Amino acid sequence: MNTAPQTDDRKTIWRMINGLNLALLFVIAYYFVYMQATGIIVADTAQHIAFMDQYFHDAVYIPHPIWHVGTYYLSRALEIHYSTSAGLVSAFLITLYAVLIYKIAQSLDDRPGNEAEWFLVTVIALTIGPFFWMSFHPYIYMGPGSPSVWHNVTLFAVKPFALLSVYFTIRFFSTDRIGYFLLAILFAAVSIFAKPNFIIVFLPSLVVYVLLKRYFARRQTTFVLLAIFLSVAALAFQFTHQYHEGGVSTGGSVIFDFLGVWSRYTPNVAVSILMALGLPLAISLVNYRSVKENEYIKFTWLLVLFSMILFACFAESGKRYAEGNFSWSWHISLSLIYLFTLIEYFKQFFVMKPALRYTLLALILYQLYVGWYFLVGMFKGINYHMPVEHFPFF
């Protein structure tokens, strides 16, 4: 029996589904950011547009200018308003991130013909929220953080580069190919100028990972040293410009403040961490044998650990203290650990015992509902700092 035509038909159908999904995602992302830029949705997008104007006209320093540069030059090239350009650039970045999620899920799955699973991983990873318990704290993202992509515009810019950095780093260590070496270094370096929060936790994770795996070959050592040298040089340049003259540019400096900022957003930091990490932790424990062989998950758990330490221990003094800018590493790490554990969950779906499989599925669906509930709420005018007054569950 010839199954080739059926296989080709299935691939064609899934290409159409993915194409429609990406087109819809682009439109939603465009209006999401356009509404932020025009003040319909409360966010800091308009503030970043103002920074962009200052960057190009008044030579005011921005440490992470990739989104700003893209928005500015697209506006100039197409002769469109900044708000329109901001929407287009952000929609492109989110759509690119979705494509990368799908392709990476596909590359990590050695079983052909699993288009439905790769599609589900993409949809879930883009919008899933943390576990939400209204009676504990009536704020969805304030405290636990969020694996969702729907946040700050500079977070849109860094997530594709962060994902590619992790992917090509692990590919390099598993194959020792020079192509992966160069790509991992390139994307890690570029991520610094999208949002430096990722590289701050990537470097210590890389060092610990190499020590634990005992990767001491010449090319592996060169990779680590080159990543450290380029990143530290770029971070030192950013730091000296961001906090020049005692922190005039931000009104403060970096300080040690254990749980000072985090505890402002939650009545219990430990519970919030568990609400954020419960699902990926449960997937990792249930599939412990396969996770032991999954280098992407192991490396990403290191990112989670160091981002947790960073958020818990450091803050900016002065007027930006309460903004919690050291939390962005936590958000990025959450998105990565959710992605790689979701891929593992669907790979092991029929291997797990039914009770465990469907319990995890229930958690995924509930947290996906939380993510969509908040995203839809934002379109209705609910911002990150507003409590949830009515929620169907808990």
The amino acid sitting at 336 is: L
Structure tokens at 32: 């999401």
Asked whether residue 340 carries a pLDDT value surpassing 50, the answer given is yes
Residue 74: partners with Cβ closer than 8 Å, 6 or more residues away: 80, 85, 88, 89
Predicted confidence (pLDDT) at residue 391 exceeds the cutoff of 60: yes
Residues of the chain with pLDDT > 90, as a percent, come to 73
- pLDDT, position 248: 35
Is residue 309 a part of any domain in this protein? yes
Predicted pLDDT at 204: 97
Main-chain phi, psi angles of 256, to 5 degrees: -85, 130
Q: Which two tokens stand for residue 336?
A: 């990565």
Domain assignment present for 68: yes
Query: Sign of torsion, CA 131 297 299 105?
Result: negative
Q: In this predicted structure, what is the pLDDT of residue 295?
A: 98
> Which residues form the domain of 271?
4-244+254-379
Q: How far is CA 146 from the centre of its chain?
A: 9
C-alpha span between 76 and 95 (Å, rounded): 22
Convert the pLDDT of each residue in 27-76 to its tens digit. 999 999 999 999 888 888 999 999 898 888 877 778 889 999 999 999 99
Collapsing DSSP to helix, strand or coil, 113 comes out as coil
The stretch 288-298 carries a mean pLDDT of: 96
pLDDT at residue 394, as a whole number: 57
What percentage of the chain reaches a pLDDT higher than 70?
95
Residue 240 above 80 pLDDT? no
pTM above 0.75, yes or no: yes
Specify the range with the lowest mean pLDDT, choosing from 48-62, 150-164, 282-296.
Answer: 48-62
Q: Do 299 and 188 form a contact (C-beta atoms < 8 A)?
A: no
DSSP 8-state code for residue 148: -
Burial 208-223 (b: 16+ CB within 10 A, else e): ebbeeeebeeeebeeb
User: What DSSP element (H or E) covers 254?
Assistant: strand 254-256
Q: How confident is the model at residue 390 (pLDDT cuts 50, 70, 90)?
A: confident
Flag whether 317 is in a domain. yes
113 located within any domain? yes
User: Residue 246: what pLDDT?
Assistant: 38
Residue 224 belongs to a domain: yes
Asked if residue 244 has pLDDT above 60, the reply is no
Q: How far is CA 163 from the centre of its chain?
A: 8
- Residue 242 has a pLDDT of 67
Question: CB neighbours of 348 closer than 8 A, spacing ≥ 6?
Answer: 287, 290
Structurally, how many domains does the chain consist of?
1
Q: Is the pLDDT of residue 318 over 80?
A: no
Least confident of 3-17, 27-41, 117-131: 3-17
Tokens coding 99: 């494509």
User: In this structure, is residue 387 part of a structural domain?
Assistant: no
- Angle at Cα 291 formed by Cα 290 and Cα 293, nearest 5°? 70
Q: Tell me if 49 is assigned to some domain.
A: yes
| Band (247; pLDDT cuts 50, 70, 90) | very low
Greatest pairwise CA separation for the chain in angstroms: 76
Q: What sign does the dihedral 66-71-72-73 (CA atoms) show?
A: positive
Secondary structure element (H or E) that encloses residue 305, with its range: helix 295-313
Count the Cβ atoms, other than its own, within 10 Å of residue 281. Answer: 16
| pLDDT score of 245 | 46
Mean pLDDT of the chain: 91
Task: Give the mean pLDDT of 300-306.
Answer: 98
